[in-house]
Amino acid sequence: MDEALDLAALHAAHVLTLRARFDRALSACGYSGVLVHSGSLAPIFRDDQTHPFRAHAWFKAWVPLHEVPDCFLYYEPGRTPVLLFHQPSDYWHKVARPPRAYWTAQVDLRPVADRAAARAALPRDLGATAYIGEPFRGLAAWGVSAANPPGLLARIDYDRAVKTPYELACLRAANRLAARGHRAAARAFAGGACELEIELAFLRACGAREQELPYNPIIALNESGAVLHYQMLERTPPAEVRSMLIDAGAQAGGYASDVTRTYSFADADFSSLIERFDEVQQALCSGVHAGVDWRDVHLSAHRLVAELLHESDITTCDAEEAVATGVSSVFLPHGIGHLLGLQVHDAGGLLRSPEGGEIPRPEGHPHLRLTRVLEAGFVVTMEPGIYFIDPLLDAARGDARAARINWTRVESLRRFGGIRIEDDLAVTASGTENMTRDAFRAELGSPGAPGVPER
């Protein structure tokens, strides 16, 4: 089947699912309709420029239109969704043309010149309509019933965790783009490029600008791999290149991929540690399926990482003791993964039910972004790591954990920063579809295991 026709059919079914979800949520909350804003350009303080635009996820769920601000999607149960497409008269900026794409058949598309025209195109009475989006100046005069009502958002976000076949197709495409970019970045690293040059190689391979990615790439050489959200991008290569941690995703149809790999430049010991850590990551992936409590996955990750730390002579205690005493958290301080979709850290990861409430994180693990029991259709990241982070190591030196850590071994590994390996997994009834490894196979002919890059 032609890819465009396939996407059209998938998107049509996706919108039917969205309509059913919104019908239930609106009825439960007592609203007759919903108005979803794409978002507005945010001005830079005391400047005539704006920050890069990112469309709201709740808008992108309906239409893959992520570059045009001040659009509105209006939906009433039983009626075709209306897309008010912002098309101003402007000679300072290039004005977006009304789209003609596979998804436009699912909406009543109406160009509007400004917000006044958008309001005029909506029903006169919006007194039973909920608004979703960043409130803008003048919204109160539109007469909507409520802006971002928590009960409505909870129901929408809870359901959004289960991806439709259309969304899964977009997520696969985003992973294929990321795999292409990662291959180019790994080659640039192997050639001795600086961090900025590696990012430029990634962008070129993806055919994207930085603002079109779901997040700014993390490209960290050597010790910088210990900074979890490293964003510096040095302009010159280090005197000695030892390692690279690259956390970089792409976007397709408004859906994100989130992929991390770690490479050793020439050190055989660190390369061996990466390869062994990849086995840990894959073992964790193999344990994911519908019905699993993600909190248990997180705690299993700590046990497996603790076993590797002991096996690699980084710690002197067994895995059980390392987890119980918090030693494993010195080297793995973040959550094992999160929901993925329209947002990198997709909404609804902590929700107890469609009515709201939160499922608590395990004690001692405050950074976990997902606590739900997995269902078929969830898409999650699997991203264990081990890092040599000075503030965490310094804190451990000052308490009882110090006796359980081999400081000589730690000192020899600090110069590499750390290791993180991350794949995107679509949960099925019996296991997972590893979108990331499949994408690397499709793009490179191999599963894209980390370690030593091609030269």
Per-residue pLDDT tens for 394-414? 999 999 999 999 999 999 999
Average pLDDT over residues 168-185: 97
Per-residue pLDDT tens for 24-73? 999 999 999 999 999 999 999 999 999 999 999 999 999 999 999 999 99
So what's the pLDDT on residue 2?
55
Under the banding of pLDDT at 50, 70 and 90, the label for residue 267 is: very high
Of 3.90.230.10, 3.20.20.70, 3.30.70.2170, 3.30.70.20, the CATH number of 165-444 is 3.90.230.10
Q: Cα–Cα distance between 121 and 40 in angstroms, integer? A: 19
Cα 106 to Cα 12, 19, 74, 305: the distances in Å are 6, 11, 13, 47
Residue 311: phi and psi, rounded to 5, are: -60, -35
Q: Cα–Cα distance between 153 and 133 in angstroms, integer? A: 11
Terminal-to-terminal C-alpha distance of the chain: 38
Q: Does domain 3-160 have CATH number 1.10.10.10?
A: no
So what's the pLDDT on residue 341?
98
Average pLDDT over residues 156-175: 98
So what's the pLDDT on residue 443?
84
Token readout for 169 is: 């197709």
121 sits in which H/E element = helix 115-121
Phi/psi zone of residue 429: left (φ > 0), alpha (ψ -120 to 50 degrees), beta?
alpha
Q: Cα–Cα distance between 334 and 208 in angstroms, integer? A: 29
332 sits in which H/E element = none
Whether residue 1 has pLDDT greater than 50? no
Q: Cα–Cα distance between 76 and 80 in angstroms, integer? A: 8
Whether residue 455 has pLDDT greater than 70? no
Per-residue pLDDT tens for 321-333? 999 999 999 999 9
Q: Cα–Cα distance between 18 and 172 in angstroms, integer? A: 20
So what's the pLDDT on residue 3?
61
Q: Cα–Cα distance between 432 and 428 in angstroms, integer? A: 5
Whether residue 4 has pLDDT greater than 70? no
- Residue-averaged pLDDT of the chain: 96
Q: Cα–Cα distance between 151 and 77 in angstroms, integer? A: 18
Domain residue ranges in the chain: 3-160, 165-444
Under the banding of pLDDT at 50, 70 and 90, the label for residue 5 is: low
Whether residue 449 has pLDDT greater than 90? no
